[in-house]
Chain A
């Protein structure tokens, strides 16, 4: 235990390494450090021995080989002749997509439900707490399976849209809700469309500027301007004007039933919708609890003070309660986002091709490189989690600072 001694200090005794608080910490740390190093070394040595015995090696060369399989939902061009690495990237983007959509939807659901649960309306409050309890207390994997089953059994198949006596029809001839997914019109960009898009974004910037100006005006002079009407005007008028002036460069391609499937529109896949809603509803129930806790942590005096100032209930919530509640809500919200992202790895249960489905699923199976694939998989999730946590911590700190 104690092989290190220092002969230049005669007062130093070996027993001091354990008994003297000045040295004990260092001794323990060194022991712990070497124990960890030894443990990892031992595991690595075992791994090399085992792999050698099986005649296998660790090699990431398979990532450069042709994948050979197709993926239905791809955000970047991909064909079965591309490499496993590209397939992994398709999977990464799909993971990020479902995590992003899920986080946003879960937040909306969570905030709405959390607020409604505190509502005076008995029926609504009970319904919301029923939702929260049911979703919180059943494993997410079961929810994913159930919601995906609902998706694929409750909505009509594309064949139901076919023929003279079709049992299903498209909504406004533009949207088709099928059990393979939802088809929506796809915008077709023609030359000149960039002008419309630019004007559109400029008008959004304009709306933000207007709101700032309105607040400033209110604070400085006490004068109010009709922000909502003006915003709507800025939102629609310039864009539409440019759109018609440039000769309608953007048109919509409507989905239509051709052959086996709807063609022409954008397809939002059923597996994405199933996973997305299952994750959003599940995580939303947790967020609702966080939101409720956050709102309840703001003392009632705040509400009463705001009411005494003559504020309307909506404004009290928006301007007084929520900003204070947010400080309590944000930290658990971050971990819910992280949980949702990690739970998206259950995508395989519904055949959604996320990173676990491509790299950790088909690629792993086809190449048999489970060791390498799982390591890469863990690395990916680690990076994602750490960066979400990092970004949200920065935001969290920014919010905290206002307190002082």
Chain B
């Protein structure tokens, strides 16, 4: 080829030109602005509208926050300090902070509640993050007993014996597991319950008279504030999950009576507002128990919220069960596994994984719904605000500050959980590929 090269003077550039800066409209902030905010007339209008909304919001909120009074003894003081200017009276939060968080919990024992709160995160960590060592789950198992002891106080023997009851139940379960999974499950539950009902009480009194090991007892009615939202939230979520699985399996089961019972329960609970169930807990439950028995209000509320949440959990898990291909069920059958084996080893692990995002959503809404207990005169965070704080002579007349503070506190926690759920979704999504 080269031999027959025509005599054309080729222009070959040997050195690269210095690169010219891109046009102003195509770089940096301007480009970004053009592409993201002013790409068309309609877009520009929307941007301006949005900017105006943002400005209106900020100009309303900023002076209120920055002029806020943080140190005052009463709303009258606040008004004096503000002297007619716009500003929040945040002093109420500063002064009533312990009440908002702990309710009437004895102030000398705040440390106990805080320790229980911190331990909760350690206990939750291995559940939330699969990377952590599995050995930590032992602590998770122990946590409820420790937390109960720390928060309510009393003798340590009660939670220890409760734990022994669980261990005994588990032993019974393991002993019978080979015969029939379901039978073993029932037997385990029966053993645990029997141990709690008949042995735990007398044994703990006996043991504590020998070795006391007691913390000062705190009555349920003294527990309040954000703490009660947290206790209700965590315990109800934890308790409703197994119940929800049982209900979901019952609803999918091919035994007509079991299925009917589960469907009726789920539809009933999902059909009524939580507030009516709480009315039942506070007003009617006492009528349905033998004359003379009286439950702790917190326990009654925990039972009701757990039942409520379990119906929603059941629906979420049912969604997971339904999303599994039929082949998975058939695979279990073809391997000769019985119902409980195939459920436990094949179906549930996959179904639960699919259901995790909706389970987390239910957990978030459950946590938010714990504020409803303020309507049945429990002093949770909102009840504390509406009751004792706003009706005290000092703070009669403050509203926004407290509600905004409550909203903020809830936001921090629920936003955290929802971010976690998104992280989990991403993680599970990669698993599928």
A interface residues with partner B (beta carbon < 8 Å): 18-19, 21, 25, 28-30, 32-33, 36, 43, 46-47, 49-51, 53, 116, 119-124, 127, 133-134, 136-143, 145-146, 149, 338, 342-343, 345-346, 348-349, 356, 360, 370-371, 374, 377-378, 381-382, 385-386
Contact = CB atoms under 8 A, between A and B. Distances in A.
B289 A46 contact: yes
Q: What band does the interface of chain B fall in when counting residues whose beta carbon is under 8 Å from A?
A: 35 or more
A378 B286 CA distance: 18
Nearest to A128: B50
B371 A141 contact: yes
A386 B256 contact: no
B61 interface: no
A344 to B, nearest CB: 8
Contacts of A116: 46
Given A36-B261, A137-B410, A385 B288 contact: no
Given A46-B287, A137-B411, 4 more contacts: A19-B180, A49-B290, A141-B382, A381-B276
Interface string B393-405: 0000001100110
Contacts of B67: none
B157 to A, nearest CB: 31
B410 A360 contact: no
Contact of A120 (B39, B54, B371): B39
B27 interface: no
B84 interface: no
Interface in B323-371: 338, 364, 368-369, 371
A345 B258 contact: no
Interface stretch (B73-81, B86-94, B266-274, B296-304): B266-274
Contact of B283 (A25, A51, A374): A374
A142 B415 contact: no
B255 A29 contact: yes
Interface in B234-292: 254-258, 261, 267-268, 270-276, 279-280, 283-284, 286-291
B128 interface: no
B220 interface: no
A127 B276 contact: no
B274 A120 contact: no
27 contacts: A21-B338, A30-B257, A46-B288, A46-B290, A51-B287, A120-B39, A121-B39, A121-B43, A122-B32, A122-B37, A124-B47, A136-B364, A137-B368, A139-B371, A139-B407, A140-B368, A343-B273, A345-B273, A349-B375, A360-B279, A371-B287, A374-B280, A377-B279, A378-B276, A381-B272, A381-B276, A386-B267
B218 interface: no
- Lowest 7 CB-CB distances: which A-B pairs, in order? A122-B36, A385-B271, A342-B273, A139-B368, A137-B414, A29-B257, A43-B288
B289 A138 contact: no
A278 to B, nearest CB: 12
B132 interface: no
A131 to B, nearest CB: 10
Given A121-B36, A146-B403, A382 B368 contact: no
B183 interface: yes
B207 interface: no
A140 B288 CA distance: 31
A223 to B, nearest CB: 29
B374 to A, nearest CB: 7
B136 interface: no
Contact of A142 (B53, B258, B275, B410): B410
B146 interface: no
A28 B272 contact: no
Which DSSP category, helix, strand, loop or mixed, fits chain B's interface?
A: helix
B407 A142 contact: yes
B104 interface: no
Contact of B37 (A19, A121, A386): A121
B124 interface: no
A179 to B, nearest CB: 14
Q: Most chain-A Cβ atoms within 10 A of its Cβ — which of B36, B276, B371, B410? A: B276
Contacts of A33: 257, 261
B414 A138 contact: yes
A32 B261 contact: yes
B53 to A, nearest CB: 7
A107 to B, nearest CB: 19
A116 B257 CA distance: 48
A45 B364 CA distance: 38
B406 interface: yes
Contacts of B35: 120
Contacts of B254: 25
A49 B43 contact: no
B287 A127 contact: no
B372 A137 contact: no
A281 B414 CA distance: 18
B291 A142 contact: no
Given A46-B289, A47-B288, A138 B411 contact: yes
A143 B403 CA distance: 9
Nearest to A381: B272
B208 interface: no
Contacts of B275: 345-346, 356
A136 B418 contact: yes
Contacts of A146: 400, 403-404, 407
B256 A123 contact: no
B51 interface: yes
B403 A139 contact: no
Interface string B174-211: 00000010110000000000000000000000000000
Nearest to A127: B50
Contact of B403 (A120, A122, A149, A371): A149
Contacts of B47: 121, 123-124
Given A28-B258, A121-B46, A386 B271 contact: yes
A18 to B, nearest CB: 7
A142 B286 contact: no
Given A46-B290, A145-B403, A381 B280 contact: no
A348 B386 CA distance: 13
B410 A139 contact: yes
B284 A374 contact: yes
Contact of B43 (A120, A345, A349, A356): A120
B271 A382 contact: yes
A316 B182 CA distance: 54
B406 A142 contact: yes
A374 B283 CA distance: 9
Interface string B153-187: 00000000000000000000000000010110000
B59 to A, nearest CB: 14
A28 B254 CA distance: 12
B256 A29 contact: yes
A137 B409 CA distance: 10
A33 B261 CA distance: 8
Nearest to A19: B180
Contact of B418 (A36, A47, A120, A137): A137
Nearest to A142: B407
Contacts of A122: 32, 36-37
